[in-house]
Structure 1
Amino acid sequence: MKSLPLRFLWLPLRGVIRLLLALLILFEEWGWEPLARQLARLAQWPPLRRLEAAIGRLPAYGALAVLLLPALALLPVKIGALWLISSGRAGLGLILIVLAKLLGTAVLARLFSLTRPALMQLAWFARGYQRWSLWKAGLLGWLHASWAWRQARAMRRLLRLQWRRFRQA
């Protein structure tokens, strides 16, 4: 019976954690494809095209190392942003974190598209990626089926309709 109060605390907390994870994944999904496309356009520049070709030829563990580079490269930037926040420049620190997140997502998305074939040769990576994909799909399915999501989509449709009517008037 001691675990009963903990269970009542865990259930709402689990829902909040699930919602936060779903929103984080949604943010990543929102930026992943468009940002990767923007970087692909930059890759038309011959030196970047050669670099991408070299990345695409890497063996599996080389590809894995390259995939970790954005996280390692942006770590000092994020630490600097936290320092800015702690020193009273919260706005500047938050802007730096958001920009680092956008840049990191863009680079990671592009690198993943280049290294995915090599990474899928690693059995443990392929299994983990499949599990991640299933888990992510389930979490996003839960979010899309929620009352709040359906209400937000209905509100968005209504606002778009009203905006069109306003523009036509």
Structure 2
Amino acid sequence: MVNTCGTGRPTPPTTARVDISARGFWTRGQRAFMNIRIFDPMAACHRELSQETAHQRNEQEKIRAYGEKIQHVDQGSFTPLVFTTSGGMGPKAKCFYLRLADVMAEKKHQPRSHVVAWMRCRPSFSLLRSALLCLRGTRYSAPTTTDIAGLDYQATVVESGIIV
């Protein structure tokens, strides 16, 4: 049996979950639910659309899928966080990031500009680390054995600068 929440449109089953939940993010005491979607603007289904239209379409799909259930069943607010593969953000994601920066700046007693800069750098470095890991493989190589029979200990001690 499909749950339609009185609209005639199917909604996700009760086992469907959003990606992020926070209490008091938008309104004091109310739970805020966020679901993330990342899309490729160069995909065939988005290629003919402007960036704004593609973002809005993806946001509306998420709202249709989760919005009504969250509003009526969970009594919370729903924000779709829509991003492009190249780092672009939908309008609701921009609002979310600005609010998050405000909350973090207030909590950490930092200027908002510093918090926004940190929020932009942090994912960049994480993505860079992931890309390097994919290109290079693991950062930790298997332990190698060293042949100590021919090792010149005196040269090693001098080179390392250890005072004996």
Q: Same fold (TM over 0.5)?
A: no
Q: TM-score, normalised by structure 2?
A: 0.28
* Structure possessing the higher radius of gyration over alpha carbons: 2
TM-score of the aligned structures, taking structure 1 as reference length:
0.27
Query: Which structure features the higher share of strand residues?
Result: 2
